[in-house]
């Protein structure tokens, strides 16, 4: 950052501004950390990020080297990154996590539908319940034992 501040730049907001596809992709990759083709459906976040106005109290400056940086009027914090970049990076990461959870849930549902006695079937539940009930009816199972009998875990798929 410059020791002697330059004059603040005047931010002119152009409501009709539409970033090019190249600008959107570059911002998506370089700033948000997107990967393609898997993040193609999240490009809308990059477009929004490019069009986002400066938050209140942030002012753009241009240093002697020509680089634009931003300074917060109250806290005096300075950054070369647009102040909303971090916000859009977080939104991207949240959407990725949400999609990953949704995909995992979908894969789990598909896998359970392929198992005999999957969802909608009472085969699995009845077999497990009957096996558990018959094992529990043996009162020795409930009493502590001093002998070293192995502990057997029931497989709920039986």
pLDDT tens by residue, 97-134 = 999 998 888 888 777 777 665 555 555 555 555 544 55
Contacts 24+ apart (CB under 8 A), 27-30: none
pLDDT at 83: 97
Asked whether residue 95 is domain-assigned, the answer is yes
Q: What is the dihedral of CA 18, 36, 32, 88, to 10 degrees?
A: 60
Tokens of 22: 């190249």
pLDDT, tens digit (0-9, with 9 covering 90-100), for 27-84: 999 999 999 999 999 999 999 999 999 999 999 999 988 999 999 999 999 999 999 9
Does a structural domain hold residue 116? no
What's the domain range around 29?
7-110
What local confidence, expressed as pLDDT, does residue 28 receive? 98
Question: 24 falls in which pLDDT band (50, 70, 90)?
Answer: very high
Could you tell me if residue 91 is inside a domain? yes
Does residue 153 belong to any structural domain of this protein?
no
At residue 156 the predicted structure's pLDDT band, cuts being 50, 70 and 90, is very low
Q: Is the pLDDT of residue 9 over 50?
A: yes
Check residue 14 and give its pLDDT: 82
- Assigned domain for 51 exists: yes
Name the 3-class secondary structure at 18: coil
The domain total for the chain is 1
Q: Is the pLDDT of residue 158 over 50?
A: no
Mean pLDDT of the chain: 80
33-47: burial string, b at 16+ Cβ within 10 Å, e else: ebeeeebeebbebbb
């Amino acid at each position: 950052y410059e020791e002697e501040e330059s004059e603040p730049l005047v931010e002119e907001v152009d409501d009709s501004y539409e970033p090019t596809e190249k600008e959107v992709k570059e911002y998506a990759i370089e700033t948000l950390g997107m990967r393609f083709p898997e993040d193609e459906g999240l490009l809308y976040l990059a477009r929004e990020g490019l069009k986002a106005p400066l938050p209140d109290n942030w002012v753009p400056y241009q240093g002697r080297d020509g680089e634009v940086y931003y300074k917060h009027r109250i806290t005096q914090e300075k950054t070369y990154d647009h102040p909303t970049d971090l916000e859009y990076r977080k939104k991207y990461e949240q959407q990725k996590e949400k999609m990953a959870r949704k995909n995992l849930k979908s894969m789990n549902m598909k896998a359970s539908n392929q198992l005999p006695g999957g969802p909608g079937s009472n085969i699995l539940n009845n077999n497990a319940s009957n096996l558990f009930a018959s094992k529990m009816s043996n009162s020795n199972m409930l009493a502590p034992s001093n002998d070293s009998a192995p502990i057997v875990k029931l497989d709920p798929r039986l």
